[in-house]
Amino acid sequence: MKSKLLFISCTIALTACGGGSDNATSTPQKKVSVSEVTTDQLVYRKTSVMTVKGQNLDMGINLSHPGCLKITELTGSTATQKVFSCKLVGVGSVPVIITDGNKNSLYTGNLTIPLAAQPQVTMNTSLGNIVIELNPAKAPITVDNFLNYVESGFYVNKIFHRVIKNFMIQGGGFTADLSQPATQAPIKLEAGNGLSNLRGTIAMARTSVFDSATSQFFINAVDNKSFDAVDGYAAFGKVLSGLDVVDKIQAVPTTTRSGLNDVPVNNILINTMLQTK
């Protein structure tokens, strides 16, 4: 009886035992592999469809692509092909990494997302125009979020509601009567991205919660390098022209209204905000 149990044990775990009866065979373990990754288009801020081909993909793969926002697996995937879609928000050479369920590397490559020119936005305020150049290479999620608000017309008739001389001017969240319209979902904090909060740069405002920025932004009136840490504030562009307008705004008298400090006595309106490049 003892030898019989030993035989059964070796048959079940044949690879571990290294032998067994002449009739015993081992079943090869399935392995996930990736042979090819293709995309239908690589256009900044457009949806791209990515096709992954290989073997046993139905066992599960993980796709990482920092240039993609909201990667979604499409229906109709098979064991030899999986199809994903995402919005391209990164630019330049962006890595694509695919791993299996155990985080073993299956594929590493790069996709180059071209950018004809850095996006520019013109902000028309009641004290003049401010032209801002955005940097999607350093802050892809933040720039895409900001442009979404610009395109939707959200910033029209908003105000600079917090102005502190020799510090910064903050706006993009309140109307003239200090009401707050509904915003899109908060975004991931991209602080520590290599862009410094120097005078004339634009960055996202947030609460004490790191990933809480929505529509509000601020323009640094002086160098605020203490904001540059990974738990600081994400700079995502710079003023190309209109720094004199920023200085006019930072110099206006302020007061406390509706429980908010540093509100300009006379509203500083954002009349329009348009992407001009």
pTM (predicted TM-score): 0.86
Beta carbons of 221 and 250 less than 8 angstroms apart? yes
E strand residue ranges, 179-275? 201-204, 217-220, 235-241, 254-257, 260-264, 269-275
Q: Which is more confidently placed, 193 or 11?
A: 193
* Segment 33-61 mean pLDDT: 96
SS3 104: coil
Alpha helices per DSSP H over the chain: 2-12, 14-17, 140-152, 243-250
Residue 141: φ, ψ to 5°: -70, -40
Distance of CA 92 to the CA centre of its chain: 15
Domains annotated for the chain, with CATH where assigned, are 33-113 (2.60.40.10), 120-275 (2.40.100.10)
Share of the chain above pLDDT 70, in %: 90
Give the model confidence (pLDDT) of 81-115 as tens digits: 999 999 999 999 999 999 999 999 999 999 999 99
**pLDDT at 169 exceeding the cut of 80:** yes
The letter for the amino acid at 180 is Q
